[in-house]
Amino acid sequence: MNGAESLARTLLACGVDTCFANPGTSEMHFVAALDRVPGIRCVLALFEGVATGAADGYARMAGKPAATLLHCGPGLANGLSNLHNASRGHVPIVNIVGDQATYHAPLDPPLAAETATWARPISTWLRTATQPQAVGEFAAEAVRAACTPPGGIATLILPSDASWSEGGVAQGPLRVPAPATLANATLDDVARILRSGEPAMLFLGGDALRAGPLADAHRIAAATGARLMAETFCVRMARGRGRFAIDRLPYNVEPGLATLAGIRHLILVGADDPVAFFAYPDMPGRFAPPDAKVTTLTRPGEDSAEALLRLAELLAAPQLAPPERRTPPPATGVITQANVGQTLAALLPENAVVVEEGVTFGFGLYAPMADAAPHDYLRLVGGAIGDGLPLSTGAAIGAPGRRVIGLQADGSALYTIQALWTQARERLDITTVILSNRRYAILDGELAAVGAAPGPASRALFDLGNPDMDWVHIANGFGVEAARAETMEAFADVFAHANSRPGPFLIELVIL
Amino acid sequence: MNGAESLARTLLACGVDTCFANPGTSEMHFVAALDRVPGIRCVLALFEGVATGAADGYARMAGKPAATLLHCGPGLANGLSNLHNASRGHVPIVNIVGDQATYHAPLDPPLAAETATWARPISTWLRTATQPQAVGEFAAEAVRAACTPPGGIATLILPSDASWSEGGVAQGPLRVPAPATLANATLDDVARILRSGEPAMLFLGGDALRAGPLADAHRIAAATGARLMAETFCVRMARGRGRFAIDRLPYNVEPGLATLAGIRHLILVGADDPVAFFAYPDMPGRFAPPDAKVTTLTRPGEDSAEALLRLAELLAAPQLAPPERRTPPPATGVITQANVGQTLAALLPENAVVVEEGVTFGFGLYAPMADAAPHDYLRLVGGAIGDGLPLSTGAAIGAPGRRVIGLQADGSALYTIQALWTQARERLDITTVILSNRRYAILDGELAAVGAAPGPASRALFDLGNPDMDWVHIANGFGVEAARAETMEAFADVFAHANSRPGPFLIELVIL
């Protein structure tokens, strides 16, 4: 068997059965191998950023990595920003990049590039298989590396001669290490802080935002008076009726500082010490008060669920029932964040997957959606916009049978708009709501923060109108049904309709 | 003045008056400075790959660099593949990347990335301005570096605190070195080879493909019997009636080898020794016969025009008149490469700029278009698909008053489809012809070359149908008028119509 076939067989043996791909010539032997080795679902993306973002969404829902298949350094480059996002969320991806033959690269053909240099910053594991004999071994290592807590991007670069040459050896799965268990001393320290009565906050991120750990965190808070706060951008949070809600740290610096003001103890649970997204003149970069003591219960990749459960038991915190929440009626009136959030809470399908890249308008949807039917809630975690449509695409494949609801800012959607076609091609059950304000509205605020009045450059650079995008045409062009909603009533009608039918649907919600 | 303002003033003083931008928070002070410093045209791109590709097209036509404005490492990453393309063509670009404040980056906020690591492979010059005092100086150096022959990408990374802090100093332009002049000994060597009567080929690339040097190359060929050949992918070639036509090296390996078979001397004129785009098992990587002697007349960045003129004079090669060419009638009948090329030759506007990223279908348009009205012909030079629509966008801004004709494969167009909106926003005179075969057709041939029959994976990954893109809807969605042509007659009608009106127009040419 050649190297390419050993790669396909090894991936399959290691449980990687989904591949988001945009292949080229140097990947042709792997494509031919995929034709011979049944069992890997190949999903075509029309742009590599769609492939990498979809692999992110898939892994968040499937709980295991997909493979990508990218074409040489420039194909990798096109996928880098969504790999950056996934790496920031510790999401496992087996990132396969075909490349020039080892002996051809020194001739420096036009598409030759520094593939490994570009891959290194976003990769927790990076190898180039220069021999067919190494391909299977490296592929099994890549799967293990991607899955090793806290998870990350394992990049396997595959020169075409390693792919086409005979000598491949398929490998079985390698044992993935379990998350580290917590030292009793750490638990005792945190329990002591929480019992001290000093103002304390449990700051939750990563796996601590699943339903079980959230419930235990609330037991701890109720028993000790500690406050709870979620990181601003979560990989996956359990939300909705029957679950415990949690506030999240605001994005902007001043409200973020205000949220943590007065805290004496910040206890990190699967989250990093929170910092501002950007620096601003004369503003602090960390959100925690300088004199607050930061204590780590669990780092990303440690078992936050077990830690919170053991902590709750150590504190003898009583069990709690989640608060009663009533389904609100769909909102009427003006299109506001609160009203849109209320309608989403009213009509969200049971067990939906919500992907939110709503940027400015999206911020206000979070609070009212606590009243929605139970759902998982996924956000862009790395700040590189253009993750939402690909995330939805991958999440739908990783969570079959569940409706995916994409709440999507218009400017960000345009980054990876090609994802719509993959949604149509794969007939994915996705409702995308474009929050269409026809501006990079977040930049209006940032310019004001600079103390500048809008002038010709900022007007040219922040305005997405002139001409306005026609989202129904764009979606239809990619094979996705679509409708425009200009009132809350129309939005409720079309949102319910979209969710009642199979396949993708796009709604342009016109925000004035 | 702050660092940002010194950047704007320095760029303008150095003749950089066009900026293709997709800014974010860390670039806000530069945007505010652009509002205060009139004279820089800011062109918004909805995706960074559009901005970088447009900067490429602009510089090819304007003969001077534009600036980009990109947001942090991930924004740069989104623009890398078209920067790769531009760097392969030695096209000058002043690549400005805003980044985290110097003191904030160590806190590792979500969008922090290894910006310089990602920029280095495509940059001929790379600096990070960590102090406002350095910004103006570095900006002037960046312009000089970008313009220094052969030209390249000068990347200036601008942390936001260097941008907002006072202490900026605007700089004037630095002297750009002229192309190196040729040693007489080199000319004598080449003349001796050409006089020897041994089979010789002048292999032309870069600036050697402008009208003047092409004419001199033909004088030399006529006087000595040397053959002429152009590199496969050219940055800019003068073509059409009243000019000397030149064959180009085929893309595929076997015809490429056949083209150079029997050559004893390969003389490089502004071009590199030609190599295969990809390696194939048991095929050579270089196109020249192993026993052919390779002699460099000029490297990229040396003055090929002067070298060819001096060589023609040294050889006492008589002046030649370009061949008579007649405008053909528009073709009728089946939609073939030859027929489409003929219709383009019949109807191409005078002095058009043709941007060709036609991939498989595009290969056959080259020969018949020699009969078109005089035009400049631009191609994707670095092999990273998705350059065509951005190139057209930038070329239209760099060559106002000239119609741009984009001959564009459908699969490649989808990479950077957002360029259509910038064409509409800026009301650019561009006719895009989508060569719509609804396949990655080039990969069909590559799979066959592997010796494999199409199976489920290759069928899923090469087919752009199911669903077919609706190009009229997509174009309209981005604010561009569009029409579909399914016959040669309809194509001729709509092509003539599109070119007769101002602003962008897209034609889907349906290829069966």
Q: What is the DSSP letter of B183?
A: P
Q: What's the alpha-carbon Rg for chain A, to the nearest Å?
A: 24
Query: CA B355, CA B346: separation in Å to the nearest integer?
Result: 17
Report the distance separating Cα B292 and Cα B451, nearest Å. Answer: 31
Length of chain B: 512
pLDDT in tens, B394-445: 999 999 999 999 999 999 999 999 999 999 999 999 999 999 999 888 898 8
CATH number for A184-314 (one of 3.40.50.300, 3.40.50.1220, 3.30.310.80, 1.10.1740.10): it is 3.40.50.1220
b/e burial code for range B411-428 (CB count within 10 A of at least 16 → b): bbbbbbbbbbbbbbbbeb
- The nearest alpha carbon in chain B to A113 belongs to B121
Using DSSP, state whether B357 is helix, strand or coil. strand
* Integer Cα distance of A388 and A434 in angstroms: 11
Angle at B92 between CA B401 and CA B59, to 5 degrees: 5
Give A26-59 pLDDT, tens digit per residue: 999 999 999 999 999 999 999 999 999 999 999 9
Instruction: Say yes or no for a CB contact (<8 Å) between B25 and A110.
Output: no
Distance from CA of B314 to the nearest CA of A (A): 33
Minimal-distance CA residue of chain B relative to A107 = B275
Instruction: Tell me the shortest Cα–Cα distance from A311 to chain B, in angstroms.
Output: 29
B contacts of A119 (beta carbons < 8 Å)? none
Chain B CB contacts of A421 under 8 Å are 414, 467, 469
Give residue B449's pLDDT band: very low, low, confident or very high (50, 70, 90). Answer: confident
A102 → chain B, closest CA residue:
B279
Residue B451: which pLDDT band, with cuts at 50, 70 and 90? Answer: confident
Nearest Cα of chain A lies from the Cα of B334 at a distance, in angstroms, of 26
**Chain B residues with CB-CB distance to A442 below 8 A:** 25
- Which positions in chain A touch B409 (Cβ < 8 Å)? none
Angle at B81 between CA A480 and CA B209, to 5 degrees: 115
**Mean pLDDT over all residues of chain B?**
96
CA distance B317 to chain A (A): 34
Cβ contact A279–B101 (<8 Å) = yes
- Output the pLDDT for position A459: 87
Burial (CB < 10 A; 0-12, 13-18, 19+), residue B322, is middle
Alpha-carbon A257 to chain mean position: 25
Q: Exposed, middle or buried by CB within 10 Å (0-12, 13-18, 19+), for B312? A: buried
Contact B40 A457 (CB under 8 A): yes
Closest CA–CA distance from residue A213 to any residue of chain B (Å): 24
pLDDT band at residue A456 under the 50/70/90 scheme: confident
Please list every residue in chain B whose beta carbon sits closer than 8 Å to the beta carbon of residue A85.
Answer: 74
DSSP of A199-259: -EEEEE-GGGGSHHHHHHHHHHHHHH--EEEE-SS-S-EEESTTS----B--SSHHHHHHH
Nearest-Cα residue of chain B relative to residue A81? B74
Averaged pLDDT for residues A409-431: 98
- Homologous superfamily of the A337-510 domain (CATH): Thiamin diphosphate (ThDP)-binding fold, Pyr/PP domains (3.40.50.970)
- Using DSSP, state whether B478 is helix, strand or coil: coil
Q: Can you give the pLDDT at residue A274? A: 98
| Nearest-by-Cβ selection for B278 from A160, A382, A473 | A160
Number of cross-chain residue pairs from A and B with Cβ atoms under 8 Å apart: 318
Asked if B75's CB is within 8 angstroms of A84's CB, the reply is no
pLDDT tens, residue by residue, A290-349: 999 999 999 999 999 999 999 999 999 999 999 999 999 999 999 999 999 999 999 999
- pLDDT on residue A145: 98
User: For residue B452, what pLDDT band results from cuts at 50, 70 and 90?
Assistant: confident
CB-nearest to B44 from A38, A460, A467 is A460
Angle of the A48-62 helix axis to the A388-398 helix axis, nearest 10: 40
Mutation test of the interface with chain B: which of A34, A35, A410, choosing the one with the most B Cβ atoms within 10 A? A35
Contact A473 B476 (CB under 8 A): yes
* A337-510 matches A184-314 in CATH topology: yes
pLDDT average, residue stretch A460-472: 93
Dihedral of the CA atoms A351, A352, A357, A362 (nearest 10)?
-80
SS3 state at B72: helix
Q: Which residues of A touch B464 (CB under 8 A)?
A: 46
Residues of B in contact with A101 (CB under 8 A): 278-279
- Close Cβ partners of A438 (under 8 Å, ≥ 6 residues apart): A410, A463, A464, A465, A468, A469
The answer to whether A441 touches A404, Cβ cutoff 8 Å, is no
What CA–CA distances, in Å, run from A150 to A136, A190, A206, A379, A391? 24, 22, 9, 18, 19
- Average of per-residue pLDDT values in chain A: 96
How far, CA to CA in Å, does A92 sit from each of A12, A62, A144, A440?
A: 16, 11, 10, 31
Candidates B28, B422, B464, partner chain A, best to mutate (most A CBs within 10 A)? B28
pLDDT at B450 over 90: no
Mark yes or no for CB contact B109/A277 under 8 Å.
yes
**Residues A24, B477: C-beta atoms closer than 8 Å:** no
CB < 8 Å to A475, chain B: 477
pLDDT confidence bin for B460, thresholds 50/70/90: confident
Measured between CA atoms, the residue of chain B closest to residue A232 is: B110
**Which pLDDT score is estimated for B331?**
98
pLDDT band at B481 (very low <50, low <70, confident <90, very high): very high
Q: Do A84 and B101 touch (CB under 8 A)?
A: no
Q: Tokens 């802090």 belong to which residue?
A: B165
d(CA A234, CA A199): 24
In eight-state DSSP terms, residue A12 is H
> Nearest CA to CA, how far is B374 from chain A (Å)?
28
Q: Is the pLDDT of residue A460 over 90?
A: no
Best probe of the A interface among B47, B253, B294, by most A CBs < 10 A, is B47
Q: List the single best residue of B84, B99, B273, B418 to mutate versus A (max A Cβ within 10 A).
A: B84
The whole-number average pLDDT for the span B29-37 is 93
Per-residue pLDDT of B153-197, as tens digits, reads: 999 999 999 999 999 999 999 999 999 888 899 999 999 999 999
- Cβ-Cβ contacts under 8 Å, A470 against chain B: 476-477, 479
Cβ distance B187 to B313 under 8 Å? no
Choices 3.60.130.10, 3.40.50.280, 3.40.50.10090, 3.40.50.970: CATH for B3-164: 3.40.50.970
Q: Which chain B residues contact residue A164 at CB under 8 A?
A: 281, 450
Please report the pLDDT score of residue B446 as a whole number.
87
DSSP collapsed to 3 states, B403-428? CEEEEEEHHHHHHHCCHHHHHHHCCC
Q: Between vectors from CA B262 to CA B257 and to CA B267, what angle results, nearest 5°? A: 85
pLDDT value, residue B389: 98
Instruction: Match 């930061």 to its residue by tokens.
Output: A294
Q: What angle do CA A387, A391, A392 make, to 5 degrees?
A: 125
Q: How many CB atoms lie within 10 A of CB A447?
A: 22
Residue A208's pLDDT is what? 98
The ipTM is 0.97
- Extents of the domains making up chain A: 3-164, 184-314, 337-510
CB contact under 8 A, B279 and A38: no
CA B231/CA A331 separation, integer angstroms? 63
Cβ separation of A276 and B109 shorter than 8 Å?
Answer: yes
Q: Which two structure tokens, joined as six digits, stand for A104?
A: 């051809």
> Mean of the pLDDT values across residues A249-272?
97
* Structure tokens belonging to residue B434: 């989508």
| DSSP collapsed to 3 states, A289-344 | CCCCEEEEEECCCCCHHHHHHHHHHHCCCCCCCCCCCCCCCCCCCCCCHHHHHHHH
B interface mutation test: which of A20, A22, A27, A84 has the most B CBs within 10 A? A84
Q: Across chain A, how many H-helices and E-strands are there? A: 20, 17
Record: contact A23-B443, CB cut-off 8 A = yes
